[in-house]
Chains A and B, each alone.
Chain A
Amino acid sequence: MNRCSSIIGVLFTALFASVAFTQDKADYVPQPGQFPPAGTGTYIAGELVIIDPVNRRGGFRLDGDGSERYHTGPLHYFAVLPYGMIFYNGAPAELRDIPIGTHVHCYFYVPPLGEEETIPSLPKDQAQFQIKQNHAISLEDDFSFYQRRGQAWKVVSIDTKKGKINVAPTGETAKDGLGKPYTFDIDDVTRVWKGRKLVDLADVAADQAVQFNLGWAQGWRDKEYGVSDIWLDDESRKFATELQHRRHVRYQKQHWLPGWIDRVEHNDFGGGTVTLTLFGGMDPSLYAELKATQEKGFGVAAAEKTLRTWFHRGDKKIGQVIEWKETENPPPGSSGIQVRLKFTELLDGYRPGRCVRVKCHDWIFVTMPPEERVKSLEDQKRGLTLSLP
């Protein structure tokens, strides 16, 4: 597990090392079949307020900036790109794993060409609040964001009567996010984790190096936050990561690993060779399982840009792996793993740039919950634009 986290950490560090100058490259337009170059993406943070976990979309209240946008501005609605990566408690996650009210850090692009309507424009009277970067390549909670960048927080002091905790960054300082000493609200509702235990506020002491997750506080407009969870020691953090890791692994084994088609070489009579690249951000053990069982072939189901499939256990074909290739330092969103598979029968969805889900032979076939499946062309069409509950 630790090794896996380290690999993910290295990957992400590489992916976002140059995100430091994201603002200069804010308007990169995602291209079909191409992963974005490193160092692109606009950093935006806020609190998750609403989600459509099935279609990987949602809305968040932006961090305060002291302006009246807080009171009068709309939520920032977003879609996660097919290769967009989500992290929670230091491990890969789905939107459904992140509780409403969690403060998240994201990197965004403008919509890919032809997908400008996925997130509908704001009405005219709110047009001044429009942020065009609304397609996310990454979304992560505070725990994941700071830990992955080598930053922790040292407790300077805590005043439980006033409900305030003073902290200062320690370790490497994240380029984006809160990189300076800060005072947060804290109270009896804050969950305090030590080892595998839920402990009390009294266990929080000066000089501890901690990670936390933040949420809304009364002074949100002025960039104030409340601490919803705080992890006091390494064991508590590793355990939180391990719990999320287990959830993620189960989810992916049932839903299959996402990727997209790079190339299709058509044979006569319906067969052909398909080259696909697996998306990044998954637990390394999942890629390793695929690699270890490649001689048994993979199931490949056509998927939407939301990563939804139809009836994936039925609407898939099994291909024989003829080549497994790994690239060092892949671009953001890519795992760097490219696979060539030979099929006796190709599906309509096997086209360059289209998304797929890939199943390891040893994973058990399951049928997805009905609300997650695309069940009709109408359903497919509805899934093209944001529609929140």
Chain B
Amino acid sequence: MTIGSAQRVRTLFAAVVCVHALAAYVTGSEEPADYVPQTGKFPPPNCGHYFAGELVSVDHVNRRGALRLIGDGDDARYHSAPSHRFAMLPYGTLRYHGAPAELRDIPIGTVLHGYFVLPPEGDTTILLPEKNPSKYLLKYTHALSLEDDFSFYQRRGQSWKIVSVDSAKGKIKVSLIGQAAQAANDGLKGEQTFDFDASTRIWKGRQIGELKDLTAEQDVQVNLTWTPDWQNTKFQINDVWIDKESRDVAAEVQRQIHIRFMHHRWLPGWVDNVEYQGGSKGIVTVTLFGGMDPSLYDQARAQKPPHGGASIACAEKTLRTWWQNHDSKGGSVLDFKDIPNPLPNSSGLQMRVQINELLEGYRPGRIIRFFPNSFIKVKLPPEECIQSMDDR
């Protein structure tokens, strides 16, 4: 796919998957009520609490990690608060460089913007200590979305205009511009001064430029990281993209990584309904989660009757499967439906598949991975597969 078409797809993608976040941005300063995720139901718009921080540890296989939250001027919190441990909800979305991503794609040390909710009832993934818990611990541990600065600001139609560059002091003054600048309550606002130095990567077109390529009046995107004055909401620039071509290239590189990843792991979703037909037969209705590249959903839609087919593997809430090539069942796609205005985190794409032998895991609310027959089956790396009940 060309960069131009990638951009078109990305725009489409942003429109589909970001309903939730956009709704949150325009709601004013009120904190959303505490939402508890429900089995088989996508969360309503505007229910996540916004936190940003630097990724400090990752368990990419189980889609978990921890953030050092950005500073708020409170020295005591910066120095003594534990890292904010989180788990991605099964339908939680990740974006990096303006394209869908996995936690493994995001380097340690990257600032991320996230929307979080309470754990689902009975979920013990992130246990908060009962004895002497830190007063800084946050109960919103389950992520609806996580994205780097590049993705976060670009998606909102925002960028940074360079006001001035002081190479001697290693300071760059920038001003946030773009349509969401006034309405958005989350993220940085107005004028900011970031640190930079020789380790900052300057992306220009398809190549890595030099510090002298940074000039006033450029519209740029940046990815930020830790700097010694972190507790006072200060940041260092890790990467800066100084033109549109460089941003398109970065997004396309990540998009290709994502597409290959999904071709191998299959598209995540959950079971909406099972129509039992006697014996072991049945029709399974699934909804695919949002946040994937639109071309992947197109591949699923292409499996329409009369010749289309798909396989469905049972998965965990971490989106891990057992041995998906074997522990899945395939059948004809009977029909599909694009639900208009889907809820945040849903793709809105619902598929009905005829299965001759239903699996134990095909139950409403349970997580699956969906394999359109146009994907190629591969065996996943063993550490990603669930291999035993203990492992599970």
What is A's interface to B at a CB cutoff of 8 Å? 47, 49-54, 61, 70-73, 75, 96, 99-101, 187-189, 191, 195-199, 216, 218, 220, 239, 243, 246-247, 249-250, 254, 366-367, 369-371, 375, 388-389
- Residues of chain B at the chain A interface (Cβ within 8 Å): 54, 56-61, 64-66, 68, 78-81, 83, 104, 107-109, 197-199, 201, 206-209, 226, 228, 230, 249, 253, 256-257, 260, 378-379, 381-383, 387
Contact of A369 with B56 in the complex, beta carbons under 8 Å: yes
Report the separation of the CA atoms of residues A50 and B103 in the bound assembly, to the nearest whole angstrom: 11
Judge whether A243 and B201 touch: CB under 8 Å.
yes
B378, A218: Cβ atoms closer than 8 Å: yes
CB distance from B51 to the nearest CB of A (A): 16
B81 in contact with A370 (CB, 8 Å): yes
Taking CB atoms, residues of chain A closer than 8 Å to B257 are 189
* A52 touching B57 in the complex, CB below 8 Å, given contacts A61-B383, A197-B206: yes
14 pairs of residues in contact across A and B, judged by CB atoms under 8 Å: A49-B383, A50-B61, A51-B108, A96-B107, A99-B104, A196-B208, A198-B206, A198-B249, A198-B253, A216-B381, A243-B208, A370-B78, A371-B66, A371-B83
Q: Indicate if the CB atoms of B199 and A369 lie closer than 8 Å.
A: no
Secondary structure of the B side of the interface?
Answer: mixed
Residue contact A191 to B58, C-beta cutoff 8 Å: no
**Chain A hits for B79, CB < 8 A:** 370
Q: Are A369 and B256 in contact, CB atoms less than 8 angstroms apart?
A: no
CA distance A246 to B211 in the complex (A): 13
Known: A246-B199, A370-B68. A218 touches B379 (CB 8 A): yes
Decide: A196 and B207 in contact? CB cutoff 8 A: yes
B383's partner among A51, A75, A247 (CB-CB below 8 A) is A75
C-alpha spacing A246/B81, complex, angstroms: 30
Interchain nearest-CB distance for B96 vs A (Å): 12
The answer on a CB contact under 8 Å between A389 and B57 is yes
In the complex, the answer to whether B381 meets A246 with C-beta atoms within 8 Å is no
Shortest beta-carbon contacts, A-B, top 5: A366-B228, A197-B207, A246-B199, A389-B57, A389-B59
Of the candidates B78, B108, B226, B379, the one whose C-beta lies within 8 Å of that of A53 is B108
Chain B residues lying within 8 Å of A47, measured Cβ to Cβ, are 381
With a cutoff of 8 Å between Cβ atoms, the chain B residues found around residue A187 in the complex are 260
Q: How far is the CA of A188 from the CA of B381 in the complex (A)?
A: 20
CB distance from A186 to the nearest CB of B (A): 12
A198 to B246, CA, bound (A): 10
Choose from B58, B83, B207 the contact partner of A198 (Cβ within 8 Å).
B207
**Chain A residue nearest to B236 in the complex (CB):** A250
Q: Are A99 and B207 in contact (CB under 8 A)?
A: no
* A250 x B382 contact (CB < 8 A): no
Bound complex: CA A50 to CA B62 (Å): 11
Task: Chain A residues near B387: list those with CB within 8 A.
Answer: 72
Return the chain A residue nearest B59 by Cβ: A389
B104 and A191 within 8 A (CB): no
State the CA gap A249–B208 with chains docked (Å). 19
CB distance from A248 to the nearest CB of B (A): 9
Residues of B close to A70: CB separation below 8 A:
382
Bound form: Cα–Cα A188–B253 in Å: 9
Contact B207 A389 (CB under 8 A): no
CA distance A254 to B249 in the complex (A): 32
CA distance A99 to B102 in the complex (A): 13
> Which single residue of chain B is at the shortest CB-CB distance from A94?
B108
Q: Which residue of B lies closest to A49 (CB)?
A: B383
A100 and B206 contact, CB distance less than 8 A: no
B residues in contact with A246, CB < 8 Å: 197-199
Contact A389 B64 (CB under 8 A): yes
For B382, list chain A residues within 8 Å (CB). 61, 70-73
Q: Are A195 and B207 in contact (CB under 8 A)?
A: yes
